[in-house]
Structure 1
């Protein structure tokens, strides 16, 4: 009996080893770096060593199995402060903290064209996973802007298909522009018109803190199939955590940088920079930063130029990123620190007027309050003369508009003003445009010349 027992044990062990090998092959190996100590508000304090600012970590609860990505944003005594990129439900003090040793990146490639992704790089549309035969490269979310002296010179205009911009506030390839306006003045409609009418090869649309209903409406109703095919959309809705909303603008910029590095002319649209700033405010205040103007922490005024300077022209072998950032204003926009800071950094501003929107004049662009700093560099002499003439006519009409309304202006008082009054309706018709009406750049300049003559 005892002689056969070792043989039976050996047989049982031989049968068990293959199963153990299969189980080990399926086991997820990981390095547990620390534990969650406490969760305070929006942030997580963890006992973890050897991590750095910006490092990506994963929080995993061994009981519920829930796994959440988080970014290291600071330190307090011996604890690391992490901002979760996801919901906190299901996490506890037993949750493990797993350091990855790297900052977060995003997968980029030609396969992204026509797709909708999250700030984590997850595909959100019907094609839930990228095709296996199309490799994606990883680009950093936090990247350095091109060296100033290596950038190409800006020398060519970029047609956006909107007459009020192309004719009177011409945007250049590689320019960065702010789109300023109150809520409800038609920013989203103008952006969809720009996506459809732009001559850019690739469009990257970053929707930061947008309403979920409007995301679907913009993508499936306002954009046609042709526009969708050359557009990459990065979406983070208003219900998502602050770090994810802020990351949407960063990831959209990273995607645009990839296509610029491939030699493409890219149009980057971020809606909105204000919600990016508000997300940064949530993160900064939760981390203990002191509030400054309008409650914004000092770190925001360092983050804004880092983000905005990444757009623009690349080096001689690269393409360009023409960027348009929407900025929400309330009342006197000059008192808004985000609007004030972005005006100082960007290469131009387009102002949307609530008064024009109330008159059903769309796009509600206040031409006289808007300015492209690079129009002088890319517009022809004839174009600049015609634009200056039409601007002068618009300014003269605005000066006497009240007199006309009360019947106090007398025709013949000033020949230039009389011309402005005669051409006012023609100018208004020229500037009005539906979002589905794409205007050819050459035709726009031809009509501008006819008005100016």
Structure 2
């Protein structure tokens, strides 16, 4: 498509350039902005009306003049080059290899004939297949209670200062597929700090899994438009490796809150009418455009599984970001600040977490025959134990019955032997189930009301 250039800018507001609409353009079209000092900045069309075109510039608009700047429309949307050579490397928001110590682009670009639009193609709901296989994370709280299923989108809700970075690094370095298909992890850092990026890459290298990971990084001081683009680039890469090359791909996105904040900042610059807490009314559809690029498709060998991680402002799970995310995704793993203060890692809040696809994929074929029973029993018993802990402040421990004391013993064992785990500890499913039975055996047999008798006879450990 032939490029079109403008030399007169109507106005400049923050990162936005306003042009008079004199030609047919399209939403998301790439532009280059040539300043009088010879610099070239990239930009994207973000709004079109009969009278004007609004462009978001990547970076500062300092030095851009209303009369001496040339804006050239490229005639195509953002695209990213894709190749198997990307595996094991680190890239910026447009898929160019970078050195994180200097944050400069490295010589040599990705050489490939595959040049894909980053928005992806809509997935026909009828083409989706029900997920039936699991991804093992090596983390007992997830594998045992809220199992991650291939093709699922399972977010992690955290808060400021919580160990979600550690948990993300542990998932990336330990995750594995139970099938024989090649397995790839794509890590996308959205608005992260320099030392956080260094931590992640150090952990990836330490684990020896760097050759199975592709990293896309956007830093906290990068332009907000880059922050809005990078998750789409990551998911475009995931679609290529999953649906073209037949790989099982796990995408870890951190921090979705930074993405939503960038969306709010852009909406404010465009002077749009805000919705809840100042976020744009299209926050739901925008997040859905990310989350729904996940799944198993009929006729395709590979799959895309997604773990978006977000930090809840003020630990408020009803905040628009986690609230909206919960409506779109198939469950959530919630981190609890009280458990974190008690130095319990990972501080998973069991009663607030759920994996909605878990029940359809676990069992003798994929995990173990008693998995559904013992996970349900553990959650139910833990809920009862927490109620008893609250009761102690009123009646004291002396007033408790035997079965209540057993529940308290179970809760202590459940937290310390099952939930608590080292950041570099990679547990097998067998070890996870063994630890869960160790805790459940603190209860009497008649308290295991959710477990089939044959499982109790086989796995129950007499401790009383």
Point out where structure 1 has 5 or more consecutive residues left out of the alignment. 1-28
Q: Take 2:190 and 2:257, find their aligned partners in 1: how far apart are those partners?
A: 9
Deviates more, 1:345-354 or 1:52-61: 52-61
Q: Take 2:436 and 2:122, find their aligned partners in 1: how far apart are those partners?
A: 37
User: Once the two structures are superposed, what CA deviation does each residue of 1:317-350 show, in whole Å capped at 9, x if it has no partner?
Assistant: 2311111111221346243112111101100100
Structure 1 runs, 4 residues or longer, greater than 6 Å off: none
Return closer, same or farther for 1:136/1:206 CA change in 2, 3 Å cut-off.
Answer: farther
Q: Take 1:379 and 1:192, find their aligned partners in 2: how far apart are those partners?
A: 25
Match of 1:111 in 2: 85
Match of 1:279 in 2: 262
Aligned residue runs from structure 1 range 85-234, under 5 A = 85-93=58-66, 94-125=68-99, 128-130=106-108, 134-135=111-112, 137-200=114-177, 201-221=183-203, 223-224=205-206, 226-234=208-216
**How many Å apart are 1:412 and its aligned residue?**
6.4
Match of 2:253 in 1: 270
1:234 is paired with a residue whose SS is strand
Q: Take 1:251 and 1:175, find their aligned partners in 2: how far apart are those partners?
A: 19
**How many Å apart are 1:294 and its aligned residue?**
0.4
Q: Take 1:353 and 1:220, find their aligned partners in 2: how far apart are those partners?
A: 26
Contact (CA 8 Å) 1:159, 1:199: kept in 2 or not? yes
Q: Take 2:380 and 2:51, find their aligned partners in 1: how far apart are those partners?
A: 64
Contact (CA 8 Å) 1:146, 1:310: kept in 2 or not? yes
State whether structure 2 residue 348 is matched by structure 1 residue 371.
Answer: no
Match of 2:296 in 1: 313
**How many Å apart are 1:130 and its aligned residue?**
4.3
Cα RMSD after superposing both structures: 2.2
Q: Take 2:267 and 2:32, find their aligned partners in 1: how far apart are those partners?
A: 21
Match of 1:15 in 2: none
Match of 1:254 in 2: 236
**How many Å apart are 1:437 and its aligned residue?**
0.7
**How many Å apart are 1:383 and its aligned residue?**
0.3
Q: Among 2, 5, 14, which residue is 1:41 paired with? A: 14
Q: Take 1:260 and 1:285, find their aligned partners in 2: how far apart are those partners?
A: 36
Contact (CA 8 Å) 2:138, 2:429: kept in 1 or not? yes
Match of 1:434 in 2: 422
Match of 1:81 in 2: 54
Match of 2:433 in 1: 445
Return closer, same or farther for 1:305/1:110 CA change in 2, 3 Å cut-off.
Answer: same
Return closer, same or farther for 1:35/1:136 CA change in 2, 3 Å cut-off.
Answer: farther
2:313 is paired with a residue whose SS is coil
**How many Å apart are 1:120 and its aligned residue?**
1.8
TM score, norm. by length of structure 2: 0.86
1:310 is paired with a residue whose SS is coil
Q: Take 1:173 and 1:212, find their aligned partners in 2: how far apart are those partners?
A: 31
Aligned residue runs from structure 1 range 404-443, under 5 A = 404=392, 408-410=396-398, 413-415=401-403, 417-428=404-415, 429-443=417-431
Return closer, same or farther for 1:101/1:318 CA change in 2, 3 Å cut-off.
Answer: farther
2:209 is paired with a residue whose SS is helix
2:408 is paired with a residue whose SS is helix
Q: Take 2:326 and 2:299, find their aligned partners in 1: how far apart are those partners?
A: 27
TM score, norm. by length of structure 1: 0.88
Q: Report how many aligned residue pairs link the two structures.
A: 422
**How many Å apart are 1:373 and its aligned residue?**
0.4
2:5 is paired with a residue whose SS is coil
Return closer, same or farther for 1:207/1:136 CA change in 2, 3 Å cut-off.
Answer: farther
**How many Å apart are 1:118 and its aligned residue?**
1.1
Q: Take 1:258 and 1:297, find their aligned partners in 2: how far apart are those partners?
A: 31
2:176 is paired with a residue whose SS is coil
**How many Å apart are 1:161 and its aligned residue?**
1.0
Q: Among 55, 60, 82, which residue is 2:34 paired with? A: 60
**How many Å apart are 1:451 and its aligned residue?**
3.2
Contact (CA 8 Å) 2:173, 2:204: kept in 1 or not? no
Q: Take 2:267 and 2:59, find their aligned partners in 1: how far apart are those partners?
A: 17
State whether structure 2 residue 66 is matched by structure 1 residue 71.
Answer: no
Return closer, same or farther for 1:290/1:412 CA change in 2, 3 Å cut-off.
Answer: closer
Contact (CA 8 Å) 1:73, 1:82: kept in 2 or not? yes
Contact (CA 8 Å) 1:152, 1:316: kept in 2 or not? no
Contact (CA 8 Å) 2:14, 2:61: kept in 1 or not? no
Q: Take 1:70 and 1:229, find their aligned partners in 2: how far apart are those partners?
A: 33
Q: Take 1:150 and 1:76, find their aligned partners in 2: how far apart are those partners?
A: 35
Q: Take 1:307 and 1:107, find their aligned partners in 2: how far apart are those partners?
A: 19
Deviates more, 1:118-127 or 1:318-327: 118-127
Q: Take 2:212 and 2:8, find their aligned partners in 1: how far apart are those partners?
A: 44
User: Once the two structures are superposed, what CA deviation does each residue of 1:256-293 show, in whole Å capped at 9, x if it has no partner?
Assistant: 11111111111111111111111111112212211111
